[in-house]
Structure 1
Amino acid sequence: MTLLGTLLRNQRPHEREHTWNQPHLTAVDTIEITSADFSHGSPLDSRYAGKRVGGGNVSPHLRWSPPPAGTTELLLVVEDLDAPAVSKPPVHCMAIIDPAGLSTPNELPSGALDKDHPAPGVTLLRSTLGRGYRGPEPLKGHGPHRYVFEIYALADRLIDGPDADGLLKARPRKLLAAIKASVVARGRITGTHQR
């Protein structure tokens, strides 16, 4: 596997394909995101990596500044910006967060994105790899991968309308492309992982 990772070292999705760079998901206001488990740009501990590579597959703690007035829900997207041989970054987790349903305002504890036991206020959507948090599992020898945790504050609810069932089952890129809700603020924090 190290040889394959080395051979694909220069293969990464184009920046324009990152969710953050989609024109309909931009916003003027900024949400500041921090974590008790990692700092921006620092490596993610193996506890937060995928089970296939010996990790615990536990989602890290996330805390964010209060979103602006008019926010009805938050969209969380976690993607690997450096996965080789794909045109779009794989989504490792996607969830709708109801701010009113959270146990602690503006915060998700470690493990809150577990597919079998999501935290109160969290609705897990489909990701590239299933449902719920899937930790980093980069190819050995491919170099550091950036895992970005993005939060989008939405002015309208995504899953209340007649298409709610379809949205819950939709593939992540299809759902992201279909978002018509206004994004009133957004923020991100990035952790890294390599093998």
Structure 2
Amino acid sequence: MTGNDPFARAAEVPTFTLTSTTVVDGGTWPAPQYSAAFGVPGGEDVSPQLSWSGAPEGTQSYLVTVYDPDAPTQSGFWHWAVANIPAAVTELPENASVEGLPAGAVQFPNDADAPRFYGAAPPAGHGPHRYFVSVEALDVATLDLPADSTPAFAEFNAVPHLLARATLVVTGEIPAA
């Protein structure tokens, strides 16, 4: 799929470097990053390892999201959103969603209403889905939002504070039975 770019209408901002030992930009999710919660065989709902560098001066915190714009809904599917990651933190280990995030960080409920990472679960035979894994540098230490805020609401509130964005695009697909 090539349409439905989630950043097509977003303001252009500088970029910085985002890497992962779990997956590479343009690569496919390994089995553990698929969703056990949605019954994907081999899925474990393990959040990916992420490392970033080169965020601009003035960065006070980060917002990390994983979003699938190709989900068969009118609004895509948010798999993960973590805000208030302190500026001194430049890495999340694999499975940080479950095993622990940096002090002060908050996970918002994903589109399955769970405050954690839910792995890829494209419908069987639906074709490849793109997963935008993004780290956004913000000029505030915290997004002062209710704990039950949606990822979309967190993104909306981050826009006025956005200094830069780093993104990996990963694909996932489940063949038809």
Name the TM-score class by shorter chain.
0.7 to 0.9
- The one-letter code of the counterpart of 2:64 is L
Matching of residue 124 in structure 1 with residue 112 in structure 2: no
More helix by share: 1
Q: Cα 1:64–1:179, aligned 2, differ >3 Å: closer, same or farther? A: closer
Compute the TM-score of the two structures, normalised by the length of structure 2: 0.85
Matching of residue 172 in structure 1 with residue 151 in structure 2: yes
Matching of residue 32 in structure 1 with residue 14 in structure 2: no
Alignment partners' CA distance in 1, 2:157 and 2:164: 18
Aligned Cα RMSD in Å? 2.1
Compute the TM-score of the two structures, normalised by the length of structure 1: 0.77
Alignment partners' CA distance in 2, 1:146 and 1:112: 22
Matching of residue 151 in structure 1 with residue 135 in structure 2: yes
Q: Structure 2: which 5+ runs fail to align?
A: none
Deviation (angstroms), 1:29? 1.7
Residue 163 of structure 2 corresponds to 184
Residue 81 of structure 2 corresponds to 94
Q: Cα 1:138–1:180, aligned 2, differ >3 Å: closer, same or farther? A: closer
Match 2:49 to one of 61, 73, 91: 61
Alignment partners' CA distance in 2, 1:171 and 1:148: 17
* Consecutive aligned runs of 4 or more in structure 1 exceeding 3 Å deviation: 157-160, 178-181
Does the 8 Å CA contact 1:158/1:181 hold for their aligned counterparts?
no
Say which SS state the counterpart of residue 21 (structure 1) adopts. coil
Identity, % of aligned positions: 27
Aligned residue pairs, count: 168
Deviation (angstroms), 1:76? 0.8
- The one-letter code of the counterpart of 1:119 is L
Q: Structure 1: which 5+ runs fail to align?
A: 1-9
Alignment partners' CA distance in 2, 1:143 and 1:182: 35
Alignment partners' CA distance in 1, 2:9 and 2:60: 21
Q: Deviations over 1:140-165 (max 9, x none)?
A: 001111111011111123434xxx4x
Residue 80 of structure 1 corresponds to 68
- The one-letter code of the counterpart of 1:29 is P
Q: Cα 1:68–1:178, aligned 2, differ >3 Å: closer, same or farther? A: closer
Q: Deviations over 1:100-138 (max 9, x none)?
A: 3x4xxx111111122xx3222432122212211000011
